[in-house]
Amino acid sequence: MARSSAKTEARKEAAQRAIGYVRVSTEEQAESGFGIDVQERAIRAFAESQGYELVDVIADRGVSGASRPMERAGFGRVVALAKERRASVLLWKFDRLARHMIYAVTAVDELRSAGIQIRSVTEPIDTATPMGEMVFGVLAGMAGMERKAILERTIGGRKAKANEGGFAGGAAPLGYRRDMSGGLEIDDDEAATVRRARELRDTGATLQAIADTLTAEGRRTKRGGRWHPGTVSYLLDNQKYLGRIEYAFEADGASTLVNRPGDHEPIFTEGAEA
């Protein structure tokens, strides 16, 4: 009876305090407008209307919903603070927690085992009740399906662009920059480093020797770092310098390779290919 009474008191304390959690990826904020501020205002309004003491609102900015909640810096602080203050967790929507059902359900189970309840401020879900658990499971499944559909559309669009010879995403390699239409155009300063690497390779220099020479000459990688043999090897094998587009797309367990002439200007000629 004493243990039961203690648990009841703990639940009452958690019902009086809450931690808000907000998350947005760069793409979502740009496309939907439901940014951090919108989510936080909704959580604060809900907390006030329901009589919660809102301890804090913690954000994960620019973090994909496909990532594991327990691996995010912001959500990790939410869990630690909720345990310390015996507080519930308030979300704008459950898809802020995760878009993969297994990630969302696992996170909820971990929190519930620690006595932490989760509520959505815009959806009729309270994981402290059996009905809330059931509704959460349904919505988590729908979110997972939505994520998969978005991923398939994204891959399909990139694949179509690559099949037409266009630059289908990823960072522009050293020697190029993105043009106004999302394609590639030559960056003359960086291209000089790319040509220097090819020149050294054509003289028979090893990858290590090329890396040492480029570093000694003050030439930097795309990220501004030192050169290493692996970096040099990747540069010399990059098909984009030959004016080609090469991508490998993975979807539903199937792999599709696209390697064809691109619509950008080459830095090397075909005759210089290793």
Over the stretch 21-73, which tens digit does the pLDDT of each residue have?
999 886 555 444 568 888 999 999 999 999 999 999 999 988 887 788 888 99
**88-91 and 118-120 strand pairing:** parallel
- Point out the domain boundary residue: 117, 146, 175: 146
Closest Cα to residue 243, out of 272, 263, 258?
Answer: 263
Looking at the fold, whether 10 and 109 belong to one and the same domain comes out as: yes
What's the total number of domains in the chain? 2
Rg from Cα positions in the chain: 26
CATH code at position 73: 3.40.50.1390
Tell me: pLDDT of 107 over 70.
Answer: yes
Answer yes or no: do 110 and 37 share one domain.
yes
Coil/strand/helix, residue 69: helix
pLDDT in tens, 213-227: 999 999 999 988 899
What domain range is 111 assigned to? 2-146
Number of helices (H), then strands (E), belonging to the chain: the values are 9, 8
Q: What is the pLDDT of residues 177-196, one digit of tens each?
A: 988 888 899 999 999 999 99
In this prediction, residue 65 carries a pLDDT of 77
pLDDT tops 50 at residue 273: no
Q: Which amino acid, residue 179?
A: D
Go through 66-88 and write b for each residue having 16 or more CB atoms within 10 A of its CB, e for each that does not.
Answer: ebebeebeebebbbebbeebbbb
How high is the pLDDT of residue 269?
A: 74
Question: Mean pLDDT over residues 100-121, rounded?
Answer: 77
**Listed residues 146, 175, 203: the one ending a domain:** 146
Residues 109 and 204 in one domain: no
Write down the pLDDT at residue 251: 67
Query: Residue 126: which pLDDT band, with cuts at 50, 70 and 90?
Result: low
Please give the positions annotated as active site: 25
Please tell me which residue, 10 or 267, carries the higher pLDDT value. 267
Contact between 168 and 247 under an 8 Å Cβ cutoff? The reply is yes
Select the highest-mean-pLDDT range: 79-83, 162-166, 214-218, 245-249.
Answer: 214-218
pLDDT score recorded for residue 272: 47
Q: Whose CA is closest to 119, among 96, 153, 100, 142?
A: 96
Q: Are residues 96 and 19 in the same domain?
A: yes
> Percent of the chain, pLDDT > 70?
78
In this predicted structure, which of 53-57, 94-98, 194-198, 267-271 has the lowest mean pLDDT? 267-271
Q: Please report whether residue 256 resides in a domain.
A: yes
Same domain flag for 112 and 215 = no
Quick check: pTM over 0.85?
Answer: no
